[in-house]
Structure 1
Amino acid sequence: MPENLDKLVIYPEDYESPVSNILINRMYQELTSLYGDTADGKFPPLDFSQPKSVFVIAWIQSQPIACGAVVPLAEEIGEIKRMFVESAWRGRGVAKIVLADLERRAEIFGYCSLRVETGIYQPTAIRLYESAGYQSIAAYGRYAKNPVSVCFEKQIIES
């Protein structure tokens, strides 16, 4: 594990908790700086409390440094959402660790594949998903007509 990550732990967290709100608000600030108004990208908190979903926070001791989620997209397909790493912790492998944790949880939920959407102005996110084995796919669902969306999918369990 990269330096300083030997004490990293990941726990499920209520999406509406104060610590979740801090990370999510920072994520939206960043997305707004890249894409302008991101109001259409916000999701109801219930999306993260339904069956076969989880929102997690990565911690270093008592400091929350990253978050991510898996939510159902279809019966055997989950969707990665809310991937965010505090800027001071980027480039150290935190996102890969959070993504691997979410993939493990998705397998437990019984998903055969995971999808994720990111944007053209987030090349680091694109490289993360590609390096983790995600394949580029046509934009799906609400992203289908969004010219800045980039979508990926990864098989995690043979169906």
Structure 2
Amino acid sequence: MRIEVRDYAHPDVVKLVAEVQQEYVVRYGGFDETPVDPTEFTHPSGLFLVGYLDDVPVASGGWRVHDPETVEMKRLYVTPAARGRGLARAMLAELERVAIAGGYRKLILETGLKQPEAVELYLSSGYDTIEPFGFYADAPLARHLGKILTP
């Protein structure tokens, strides 16, 4: 998979974010309502990546600065046709690598219990349960995870 930095307004990002939002509708009955400012995913306050197979956008993920040492991951997603190939794990590793290169020491995220594949990916990648934060801090189906990043 070729991974490229993309602006949050890039057509491939818009397409993949719309797809992941539809995934939330199927699994939870509605969109992720977490407030997102597209400028949060632009250097130096953040980053957004798109993964391509044969020039087709198939994966996405980004992070935004949460505090001076921490970034929050958003929109890690792989299209249904490209699942089962380790692309989410590869995107996660690249997001972590770039965060480390930027001097960040921790990556946090929120996911949901109706996304067991995501929960398993994060747990198997060294993420642990953390104190709830953000828009879904009190949501019963939310799972908040974090990882100390080491070079």
Q: What is the TM-score when the length of structure 1 is the normalising length?
A: 0.90
Q: Give aligned pairs, total.
A: 151
CA distance in 2, matches of 1:50, 1:122: 29
- For residues 90 and 149 of structure 2, the distance between their equivalents in structure 1, rounded to whole angstroms, comes to 16
Letter in 1 for 2:143: V
**Contact 2:70/2:104 (8 A) holds in 1:** yes
1:18 pairs with 3, 11, 26, which one?
A: 11
Alignment check: 8 A CA contact 2:34 2:135 kept: no
For the pair 1:105 / 2:110, whether they are aligned, the reply is: no
1:22 Cα deviation after fit: 0.7
- Unaligned runs of at least 5 residues, structure 1: 1-7
Quick one: which of 58, 61, 69 aligns to 1:65?
58
Q: Which amino acid aligns with 1:9?
A: R
1:142 positional shift: 2.2
Structure 1 consecutive aligned stretches of length 4 or more whose deviation exceeds 6 Å: none
Structure 2 unaligned blocks of 5 or more? none
Q: Quick one: structure 1 residues 50 and 36, their matched pair in 2 at CA, closer, same or farther if it must change by over 3 Å?
A: farther
The answer to whether the 8 A contact 1:66-1:85 is kept is yes
- Shift of residue 94, structure 1, vs aligned partner: 0.4
Question: Structure 2: how far apart are the matches of 1:41 and 1:142?
Answer: 6
Rounded to whole Å, the distance in 2 between the matches of 1:64 and 1:30 is 17
Equivalent position of 1:152 in the other structure: 145
28, 34, 38: which one aligns with 1:35? 28
CA distance in 2, matches of 1:128, 1:39: 20
Distance 2:32 2:114 in 1: 17
**For residues 119 and 133 of structure 1, what CA distance do their matches in structure 2 show?**
17
Q: Deviations over 1:22-65 (max 9, x none)?
A: 11101101111111222523512112125141100000121110
TM-score scaled by structure 2? 0.94
- Structure 1 residue 76 and structure 2 residue 69: aligned? yes
CA contact (8 A) 1:53 1:71 kept: yes
Amino acid at match of 2:25: T
Match of 1:125 in 2: 118
Q: Distance in 2 between matches of 1:102 and 1:88?
A: 22
Q: CA RMSD in A?
A: 1.4
